[in-house]
Amino acid sequence: MRITAVLLTATCLAAVAASATACSSGSKTAAAAPTTAGANSSPGSSGVSSGSGSGQGLNACALLSITRASSLTGRHYSAAKAQVIATGQDQCTYKGTAGASDLDVIVCQPDSGVTWQTLTSVLKGTGTVTNVSGVGDRAMVGAIELDAQAGSRLVAVLGAGGTLTGDHSAAAAVAKAVIAALH
């Protein structure tokens, strides 16, 4: 699943460059974001920006605790690492244990340059895209991820399992939890 996160990141960076929005030159850890979160941590206001995302990183890991992520996906995660992957693009990687794949949650702010059309293009490039109801304002799932829009923010969930087999319930549950924490 690491390859799919890199694919999405590369696509998001290309979209940012194409829209003439400034982006960072590489990944950096968000200043307010811890590199790991405890197993009993819970989302809170610490590190979460409720604004438009301009000029500030969002601690994506503060939106969904390790315990909650594990519960929603049925997998165990040992740590969570928050990163700003580009301007307005904040990611949390939940490290899978015992050979389980990582879970990546990416939140794109309005200033990221990433649009719904960008995400649609990425998913269509990997195969069939299916609309998903009940997740944010609109959502879709493809072979590599589930994408959702909530207001002016976009959420991508990678590695929750099942997107290749058609069972995207875990990815949808993660997206719903992240969207709820954003409000």
| Assigned token pair, 155 | 């959420």
What element of type H or E holds 158? Answer: strand 153-158
Q: What is the pLDDT of residues 53-62, one digit of tens each?
A: 344 568 999 9
| Assigned token pair, 36 | 């790991």
pLDDT of residue 56: 59
Least Cα distance to 2 among 74, 110, 103 occurs for 103
pTM strictly above 0.85 = no
Q: For residues 65 and 52, what is the distance between their CA atoms, to the nearest angstrom?
A: 23
Q: In sequence order, which ranges of the chain are alpha helices (DSSP H)? A: 2-18, 66-73, 116-124, 169-182
